[in-house]
Structure formats: C-alpha cells, structure tokens
Amino acid sequence: MEATLYLPQCPDNLLYYKRKFNVYNFTIYDSTKEGLCYVYDEVNGHKGCCEIATCILKYLRSLPDAIHTVNTWSDTCAAQNRNHILLAALIFAVNSIPHLQQVNTKFLESGHTYLECDSMHSRIEARKKDRKIYTPDQIVPIIEDARCDPRPYRAEQLIFSDFFDMKELAKRTVKNYTIDSESAPVRWLQIKWMQINEKSDVVRFKYDYEGDFHEFNFRQKPLKRPRRCTAMTTAEIGLLQLQKVHSARLPISMAKKNDLLSLIRDGVIRPAYEAFYANLPADPKIKDTTDVIEVFDEDDPELLGLYNKIVEAH
C-alpha cells in the first residue's frame, strides 16, 4: 500500500491548514515486471484487510489458466495482510479459481521490507510532483505514465461495490487459526511463510524460511474429545457467493467536507471540480481522525507478548 495520496494537490499555502481528501493505491509487482495498481478513495473503501484481500483476490482471478502456483512476498503489517482475514480469502481463492492449486504467501523480515512495489511508489511520487491534481480520476493517468519503458503500469480504479466482506467470509470458513496440530498457539506475528493448498483443510506455515512446516486445521480446533466437524468443506467454500462489504459510498466527516468546500470558495480548487467535492457524502457524527493502520512489530517483545495474550484469550 502506497502512502496515502492527498487531494487536492497544488502549490497553495492554504492547503497546509485544511483537511484533505484521501486516495489509496494498492500495488502489485509480479515476476514478469508487470506493475498493477488498484486505486480507490476514502468514500469508496478503507485502508484495511477487506480492501487488501479483495484486491489480491481480483489479481488472482485475473491470472492466466496456465498458472497453478502463486508465491507472494509482502511486508509484515498484521492489520492488512498477516491475519486470518487474508487467509480466508486465499482459502476461497484456491478452492474457487479452477486453475489455482497452491498459494505461498511469505513475509519479509521486519526492518527489511523493501519490495519492487516501493520502486513503483517512488516513480509515481516523482511523476505527480509539481502537478495540480484535484480528483482521483486524475491520479490514474499519472500512475499509468509513471513508467513508459519497458511497459507502463496498469491502474484500475475501484468503487465501494467492488469490495467484498472478507471478515464475514472468515467467520463462515475459518473456525480455527489460533491452535496448531500440536495444540500449541499459532504465533501469527512470527509467521514467515503460509502455504494454502487446494482441497485441503490444513494450512501449513513456518516461523522461519528454512525451518520445518507446522500446520493447523482451519475447519476445527483440536479437542480432547473430538466432535463431528460442522464447518464448511473446501468444496462448499469454493461455491460461496461473496457479500459486498459496503452498500453505499462511505461518508467523510462534516469538518473535512467543510474544509474542502472552503478551498473552492477561496479559489484553491477550480470551479470545474466543485461538483465532485459538493457531492461527497458527509456525516456530522463522524469524527475526523488520522487514518492509521496498526503495525505489530515482531521485534518488540512487549507488544508481541500483549498480542499473544489477546490471541490466547480469544
């Protein structure tokens, strides 16, 4: 996920004192050197696990039929990608996409998370520097023009109806993600490698790249007195119809909308874009807060211990 893009962007000192409109860009860079961007704004989605998992599922569905195995590398942001919500999406993917048989998702070492996507972000930032940008629609061509050689980046703009409720999917499909096959707690913040296979109830994982695989059955926790499993089978998971996470555009705070409208009155935002900002949904009950995604650092023993206690209590 690229750092949040703020609109409007133009050289005016008044912008420093005003709340701005957030635009998000989730990027994928594959082994064929193809760069893909999923772009959406804050009235169409959040910067959370449902949106991230939806983008990854859309990408997996777009792959050619000849591809049977996918290996991914990502950073260690627990709130976005190292969690059971993304796991549920990958389980659904390998059981609903006919040609996809296995997904290996690997997490870089904390503090060493530089990826090719970061180079994409740098190119995009350089391209949009000193440009006047007022709406999300204007960001898409800037992304597509950020690299001309050998191939331009591809950008797809998403709206609220594109995002699936991956949390509801996880509730229906993943009944266990805390206890492994040896009745030990799964230390999610230390996982470096997860492997999800087609038609398998078992998720395999490693705490280091060279170590042995551990595993847990996502359909049922190991019990002293085994009971009949009532969780969905992998065949049933593959037939699920995903629900939409948002039924309409998401409102912003009234304070933010007032700030944006004041920029129109002050001549910072051109009159041609007044309709876009005037039509933004707003709710006076919403507090204007900074969009923060919590990142759990596996190298912080105090934070790691607190997180493990929460998992065990759950």
Instruction: Answer yes or no: are the C-beta atoms of 223 and 129 closer than 8 Å.
Output: no
Averaged pLDDT for residues 189-204: 94
- Neighbouring CB atoms inside 10 A of 43's CB total 20
> For the chain, what are the domain ranges?
5-313
**pLDDT of 313 strictly over 70:** no
* Listed range (186-195, 284-293, 296-305) with the worst mean pLDDT: 296-305
Mean pLDDT of the chain: 88
Q: How far apart are CA 23 and CA 1, in angstroms?
A: 11
Averaged pLDDT for residues 255-273: 94
Instruction: Answer yes or no: are the C-beta atoms of 166 and 83 closer than 8 Å.
Output: no
Q: How far apart are CA 172 and CA 160, in angstroms?
A: 22
* Bigger pLDDT: 55 vs 293: 55
Q: First-to-last CA distance in the chain?
A: 29
pLDDT tens string 57-74: 999 999 999 999 999 999
- pLDDT band, residue 306 (cuts 50/70/90): low
* Per-residue model confidence (pLDDT) at position 302: 55
Averaged pLDDT for residues 64-92: 91
The answer to pTM > 0.85 is yes
Q: Tell me which H or E stretch contains 191.
A: none
Instruction: Answer yes or no: are the C-beta atoms of 169 and 89 closer than 8 Å.
Output: yes
φ, ψ of residue 184 in degrees (nearest 5): -100, 150
- pLDDT band, residue 292 (cuts 50/70/90): very low
- pLDDT band, residue 263 (cuts 50/70/90): very high
* Per-residue model confidence (pLDDT) at position 308: 57
- pLDDT band, residue 312 (cuts 50/70/90): low
Both tokens of 237, joined, read 């998971």
Angle among Cα 97, 171, 3 to the nearest 5 degrees reads 75
Both tokens of 16, joined, read 């420093």
- pLDDT band, residue 111 (cuts 50/70/90): confident
Q: How far apart are CA 95 and CA 285, in angstroms?
A: 41
Averaged pLDDT for residues 275-295: 77
* Per-residue model confidence (pLDDT) at position 201: 94
Sheet harboring 21-29: ordered strands across?
A: 5-7, 21-29, 35-41, 154-157
User: How large a percentage of the chain has pLDDT more than 90?
Assistant: 73
* Per-residue model confidence (pLDDT) at position 68: 97
